Amino acid sequence: MSSYFSSQHSQPAAAQRRTSLPRLSLEEHDRPQPTAHHVLPSLSYAAAVGVPHENPFNHNLFLQQQVFADKSNRLLSLIQNTKGLLDEIRETNATKPWQTYYPSLQIPTTAAAGATSSAAGNPLRRSNSFHPEDDTDRSSSLPLQQRLQRSFTSAPASPQHAHAPVEANSTAQVGRLIPELNVLKLDLKVGNYATGNDALLRGLERNTIAHLLDGRIQQSVKHLDNLYQRVSDKSSKVLITGDLNAGKSTLVNALMQRTILPIDQQPCTSLFCEVLDAQENEGQEAVHAIKEPSAYNREDPNTFTVVDMRHLEKFMNDVIDGYEDYAQLKVYCTDRRLVNDSLLHNGVVDIALIDSPGLNRDSVKTTALFARQQEIDVVVFVVSAENHFTLSGKEFLWNAANEKTHIFIVVNRFDSIRDKERCKRVILDQIKQLSAKTYEDADELVHFVSAGSCLPEVIQGGDLPADFLRLEECLRSFVLEKRCKSKLAPAKVYLENILSDVSILSESNRQMAAEELAKVRMELERGEPQYQETLVRREMVLEKVDRLAEETCTLIDTMTREKLTNSVDDIENSVSALVPWNGLLHIWQYANDVRYVMADLFVDRVKNCEVEAREKAKMCVNDINSLAEDASPASQSDALSLFTKPDPARISTGKLKDELALDFVDVFEVQDKLGMASVSLGAVTMFSSKALGYKSMIHSLFDITNTVGVSNVRKWFVPVVTAAGLGLLVYIAADMKHALARKTARKLRAHIREGTVVHDEAMRIAKDCRRVFKSNAWEIQNRFQKEIEAHEKRRAEQERAAKDGEQAVVYFGKVFEKADELARWVAAVEVEVEDRKIKA
């Protein structure tokens, strides 16, 4: 049973044969001329016939193939460049501070809408029309950029123009009509039809939308990869189907000019046999029998069985008889003709012919399903001229007509018809009913031939009949045309759509960036005078604060010095009322009390000076604060809390008290001046040795004797001494209290005059005040500093934003230009497009 299986298995494939096409360069010298496509040869068969050539059919075909190859290459380059542009956008989104934001549709204000309408007709309708056919203004041949800009409200076109004064929140939002995106449109309405898409988008964070948009761009890049594969795939599959025994296998053999498939009057094809170029199998002729077509991999021998080509007929019969269970055959064979004549491999399109089982009730559905596959570019329906269309055939054609609008029809076995004209008429009538479009192009799509008469063994080296040559040429031409539609058209439409989307995105983003830039520049311009004014104000205020503080400190210093210096008289007067006099016997106690009270009073005067200084300082602080408040409103601090608390210890009360201590000589200083001081002193010394001590007493007596002489002394001594002593006692008793105060006050005065106490206190108080003012000035300085720093920070951010904005405007402008240029190139690739809404 397995005798027809070959032991030869295909070798694993070497490297991919497909070579990469040259990239489209955006350099000036590489740019195609806009009219380049107009000089390319026409696809018209009639025009080609007029070209003098050995074989006009082949010459025309050659031209068609060249045109197709050119279009494919241009589209491939454009796909690559568009992909590069999308990659660049994605990379910029990830690395640069400016992202491509999704444009949200703005409702135009009446004025803006009116202005736009009057200027450019109906803006809403235009905004959705980027395809040349849809744009009624196409006659003006405006480039996409201008058309787009007319769809948007006017915005600065360059960073320089962004200087135009723009009021914040005004131009950015008014009247912008953003054309709807096509392939990059974010549709969030899944499961939520109550809320509009724009409303949903507005509800999302800008970054979330940017992320979603990035996902769409990523999908688009993938789809471009698929399109690239599809366009660069040169193989085209032609399904040959028809009624049983219509001569399908014979037609394949005639087209191949080789006996490859078995021919039999009995139904002999029960599986799909794909005849393809041996170069697809590294030049090796072979037959691969496949059980599971979807799993087939030419490089994996486990997915097929190799059948010896010589035993193909036996193998197929075994399949029909149920001995073998296979679904598909791949027949790799060499087309021995020249490249230009070759059907399978002609350098532009590799055609694979797929012979299918004859149509009957069982197979019609399977075949119709097979025909719907994307890889099937052309369906050739073979009908027997003798039998016309059977029910199964009609059923298939009805099905296929829905999918493939044009069907290529071969009416075979025409040699066995005697009344050929009648046969033609009847069959064309039937075709008219089945496929109106095929009937319209019947001249090229319906062929009456006798494939049996075109087999190599019948021709035996002779020429093929003209009708068969024409069938062959039309078939190739039809394949090319279908390929244009099935492979180039989707690529072209998708490129148009994605480039239009990129243009819309970049233009709307450029406008947004320009508006932001204008706004930032305006803020910068507005902020600069404020900044300069703050700097000047700071200098002025701080200078005033310094002056005010210094003046107040000087005033306080002078005031303190004066008050303390002049305080002694007042202290002296106050002391008698404050210290009780308890008699001579308590004289030392009194003297001590006086000096203590005087010292305390002096401390009180110092405190008073402090209080006054505080008041002055307070007034000064208030003045400073009001200055600062005018200059830089902020919370005022209580700088006065920095005043040192009055502390008697700080003015050395204890030391002062010591300084004011009196001795006995100080007490009688006033009697010395009267000349009687020594007498009184001597008397007192005698009466009060307790008070003066013996040493002083003897000294006094010696003084008295020297003064009046020894005899007189003896005579007058007692009465005089008694009288003087009494008088002295009275005098002392009466004046002692004041004398002590005077003396202490004198000491205090001397202490003030000769010492540093007044200077120290004045300095201390002024220093305290100065510290308060310094603290206040520091705080004001701080406030200004914060204000200036905030301003500088804001300015740095604005400058950065302006720089980003400038770059963004340039960047989006460049993206737009690139997209526009690519779109013009795409438009220049002429491909008949039936549906511009072809998407991913």
Ligand X SMILES: Nc1nc2c(ncn2[C@@H]2O[C@H](COP(=O)(O)OP(=O)(O)OP(=O)(O)O)[C@@H](O)[C@H]2O)c(=O)[nH]1
Q: What's the rounded Cα separation, in Å, for the pair 590 and 584?
A: 9
Query: Measured from the CB of residue 286, what is the shortest distance to ligand X in angstroms?
Result: 22
3-class DSSP assignment, residue 132: helix
Task: Report CA-CA distances (Å) from 808 to 90, 166, 249, 507, 814.
Answer: 14, 18, 64, 11, 10
Residues near ligand X (CB under 6 A) are 244-250, 263-265, 267-269, 358, 412-413, 415-416, 450-453
Task: Report CA-CA distances (Å) from 147 to 32, 115, 171, 762.
Answer: 22, 16, 20, 85
11 and 62 Cβ atoms separated by less than 8 Å: no
- 65 or 392: CB nearest ligand X: 392
Query: Measured from the CB of residue 318, what is the shortest distance to ligand X in angstroms?
Result: 15
Q: What's the rounded Cα separation, in Å, for the pair 583 and 575?
A: 16
Query: ∠ CA 522-526-528 to the nearest 5 degrees?
Result: 120
- 441 or 467: CB nearest ligand X: 467
Query: Measured from the CB of residue 238, what is the shortest distance to ligand X in angstroms?
Result: 15
- 249 or 744: CB nearest ligand X: 249
Please report where in the chains the tokens 């905030």 appear, as a residue.
Answer: 790
Query: ∠ CA 403-409-414 to the nearest 5 degrees?
Result: 160
Q: What's the rounded Cα separation, in Å, for the pair 569 and 590?
A: 19
Q: What is the DSSP string of 750-810?
A: HHHHHSSHHHHHHHHHHHHHHHHHHHHHHHHHHHHHHHHHHHHHHHHHHHHHHHHHHHHHH
Alpha carbon 473 to its chain centroid, in Å, reads: 56
- 183 or 378: CB nearest ligand X: 378
Task: Report CA-CA distances (Å) from 360 to 262, 293, 324, 438.
Answer: 20, 22, 21, 23
Query: Measured from the CB of residue 424, what is the shortest distance to ligand X in angstroms?
Result: 15
- 416 or 756: CB nearest ligand X: 416
Q: What's the rounded Cα separation, in Å, for the pair 181 and 195?
A: 19
Query: Measured from the CB of residue 23, what is the shortest distance to ligand X in angstroms?
Result: 46
Query: Measured from the CB of residue 121, what is the shortest distance to ligand X in angstroms?
Result: 59
Element (H, E) at 274: strand 272-277
- List 273's β-bridge partners, or say none: 329, 355
- Amino acid letter at 13? A
Q: Is the four-CA dihedral 760, 763, 765, 771 of positive or negative sign?
A: negative
Query: Measured from the CB of residue 248, what is the shortest distance to ligand X in angstroms?
Result: 4
- Amino acid letter at 621? V
Query: Measured from the CB of residue 17, what is the shortest distance to ligand X in angstroms?
Result: 32
Strands 408-412, 446-448: parallel, antiparallel or unpaired by DSSP? parallel
Hey, how many other C-beta atoms are within 10 angstroms of the C-beta on 417?
18
- 264 or 658: CB nearest ligand X: 264
448 and 413 Cβ atoms separated by less than 8 Å: no
Q: What's the rounded Cα separation, in Å, for the pair 205 and 203?
A: 7
Query: Measured from the CB of residue 356, what is the shortest distance to ligand X in angstroms?
Result: 8
Alpha carbon 762 to its chain centroid, in Å, reads: 65
Query: Measured from the CB of residue 433, what is the shortest distance to ligand X in angstroms?
Result: 23
Q: What's the rounded Cα separation, in Å, for the pair 341 and 61?
A: 10
- 392 or 592: CB nearest ligand X: 392
Position closest to ligand X via CB: 358
**Both tokens assigned to 815:** 């993206």
Query: Measured from the CB of residue 268, what is the shortest distance to ligand X in angstroms?
Result: 5
- 453 or 705: CB nearest ligand X: 453
Query: Measured from the CB of residue 461, what is the shortest distance to ligand X in angstroms?
Result: 19
Query: Measured from the CB of residue 369, what is the shortest distance to ligand X in angstroms?
Result: 18
- 467 or 760: CB nearest ligand X: 467
Q: What's the rounded Cα separation, in Å, for the pair 53 and 38?
A: 23
- 367 or 632: CB nearest ligand X: 367
SS (H, E, C) 618-680: HHHHHHHHHHHHHHCCCCCCCHHHHCCCCCHHHHCHHHHHHHCCCCHHHHCHHHHCCCCHHHH
Query: Measured from the CB of residue 288, what is the shortest distance to ligand X in angstroms?
Result: 19
Q: Is 660 left (phi over 0), alpha (psi -120 to 50) or beta?
A: alpha
Who's near 255: CB < 8 A, 6+ residues apart? 343, 353, 472, 475
**Both tokens assigned to 671:** 């009697």
Query: Measured from the CB of residue 402, what is the shortest distance to ligand X in angstroms?
Result: 24
- 233 or 386: CB nearest ligand X: 386
- DSSP-derived letter for residue 6 is -
- 381 or 825: CB nearest ligand X: 381
- 204 or 320: CB nearest ligand X: 320
- 420 or 786: CB nearest ligand X: 420
- 236 or 412: CB nearest ligand X: 412
Query: Measured from the CB of residue 415, what is the shortest distance to ligand X in angstroms?
Result: 5
- 268 or 522: CB nearest ligand X: 268
482 and 69 Cβ atoms separated by less than 8 Å: no
